[in-house]
Each structure stands twice: as C-alpha cells, then as structure tokens.
Amino acid sequence: MSEVTYREAVRMALREAMTNDPRVFLMGEDVGRYGGSYACSMGLLEEFGEDRIRDTPLSESGFTGAGIGAALVGMRPIVEIMTVNFSLLALDQIVNNAATLRHMSGGQVSVPVVIRMSTGAGKQLAAQHSHSWEGFYAHVPGLKVVSPATVVDARGMLLAALEDPDPVVIFEHSGLYNSKGEMPDPPPKVDLSTARIAREGTDVTLITHGGCLQRTLDAATALAERGVSAEVIDLRVLRPLDWDTVLASVARTHRAVVVDEGWKSWGFSAEVSARIAEDGFWTLDAPVRRVAGVEVPIPYPQHLEQASIPRTPQIVEAALQAVGRG
C-alpha cells in the first residue's frame, strides 16, 4: 500500500496508459506546459512530448470534435475539458456525434474516446465553474458515465475507459483532487459496470457518488452514534446503473436516501428515486428521501456555496426521517 492523492492517481493512470499504448494521447486546455488546471498532467509533457500531450485552443467544440475524429481512425484520445460547465460548449460533439455514431453507422464505426472533466462545487469558483451535470450526461444513450470517488477508482476507471470501444465520460469532483487514499500494489483492475458498498448497514441505504461519498460516509458514522446502522452505496457508474446492488441493499434495509450534488428538480436523484419506487416499492417501509443541491446557481461566497450543496447534517436528518426518528 502507498498513500497517494486523487490527482496523483489520475496522473498514474495517464502515465501508465501512454507508456503501454502508443495510440493514447491527452489533449485539452493547459494540459501541457501548465500541467493541467488541477495538475493532473504535471510533468507528462516532458516525458511524452508535444505529440502526445497536446495543448489546445480555447475551443471545446473544436478540440472535442478532433478527439472524436482521432478515435474514429483508431487512436485512443483522452479529451480533458477544464470544467463541466465548459463542456456545454461541446454538447453537439458529445451528444450528437460521440454518442450516436455507432448507432447511426449501423455498428460500422466505434468511438473509443475518453472525455474527462472536473465537476462540483466547494472551491469558490462560482457558478460558471462549479455545477454538477452528471445527471444530464447520464441521460444520454450511447455514453458511459462514471464518477470515481476514490484514488483506486480515479486510476482504475480511466484505464478501463480506454479499453472501452464506446465513449466514456469521466467526472472528477474538483474537491477530491487533494484528497488522499491507499493505493494497493499492484493496483486492482476496475470495471465500469458495478456499484460498490462502501459501508455495510441494516437500517437505511444511503446512495451517492463522487464528491458526496465522504460526506455520506461521515453521516453514516454520525448515525451509528445515534443507533442507526446506515449502508452506503457508492454508485461509481452512473450509466449504466448497477440496479442489482441498489435494489438488493434497499430490500435489506427497507429505506433509502439518495444524495446528489446536482439540483433536485428533474435531476439524477429523481431518476434513482423513481427507479426504486418502480422496482423496489414493496420492499420499502418509508418514502425515499433525497438530499440534493439548492436550486440556485452556485454562489461564490464560501458560506453561501457550502449552504447550496449537500452537507453531512442534512444527510443525517434525511436518514433519521426515513427511519422514523426525524
């Protein structure tokens, strides 16, 4: 075991992928000489050169389209979009091209492109850099959408995504880059199909992903001090969702709380809650509860920003309501 940061885990994956496969290259704004906006590619330009670490113009649609084109002819591009909000400038390329070309060509072409982007609030980067659009991309058939919350997944999911013949969108929460965790030696292989039970429990299931995982685990610890045993599921993969793990947990605990940093209305938490109601209704002993972002553009002031996203006390309160103690 060795302790590494989340950004170091991403860098490990980038280095390993480019060392092992000459088709892999990284492209995006400031990924080269600057070392990446979150320092994930620091030092890789000197190691692999400008052909494989490519600084791009400030044109998300342009360089995302170039990445898709490279994937179509057999390369394995990693497109880094600085922040999820900027990915909206590349929606046409991601949603209308990457996600659809296999289907529109009748299976004649595949698009093995990996698109990485930071997501989420907590760094005082204001509304145009801090939103959570995971639910939007998870809505789109033809994309795989993953949300690694641990250093092991940050490394392993990127490598697994590069082996996938179809487009994979990876959401890296900006609040996780400085977080640390244990990396086994050798690191385990990670798949893109299963959720993970991060903590076992018997009274209520807490379902979350990405940047909300640690807050949810902290809530489970606080609940245990009050005599409530909470099971925590780290979804990890948002499309396709691992429903077997979710429904089996809810069947054991008979209660569920969904935690998501995105907005509640029409959001990811709504989809998860609806599916539990559809497929697991008769196992429930209480309504599904949701803890989600306040429906405002993410504020800049720190106290307002923290008030706008799910916090541990809110998760605890929702769980207590689910078990009839709220």
Q: Which residues are catalytic?
A: 60, 129
User: How many Cα atoms within 13 Å fall on the side-chain side of residue 224?
Assistant: 13
Residues 6+ apart with CB under 8 A from 28: 36, 54, 55, 56, 63, 79, 80, 81, 82
**CA–CA dist 326, 320 (Å, integer):** 5
**CA–CA dist 10, 270 (Å, integer):** 30
Q: What is the DSSP letter of 216?
A: H
Cβ pair 162, 79 in contact under 8 A: no
Cβ-based burial of 206 (10 A; exposed 0-12, middle 13-18, buried ≥19):
buried
**CA–CA dist 28, 120 (Å, integer):** 19
Residue 180: helix, strand or coil by DSSP? strand
- Give the C-alpha distances (Å, rounded to integers) separating 297 from 132, 189, 300, 321: 11, 38, 9, 28
CA 253 vs. chain centroid, Å, equals 25
At which residue do the structure tokens 């209704």 appear?
281
Q: Which helix (H) or strand (E) holds 326?
A: none
Q: What angle do CA 278, 96, 163 make, to 5 degrees?
A: 80
Residues in the chain, total: 326
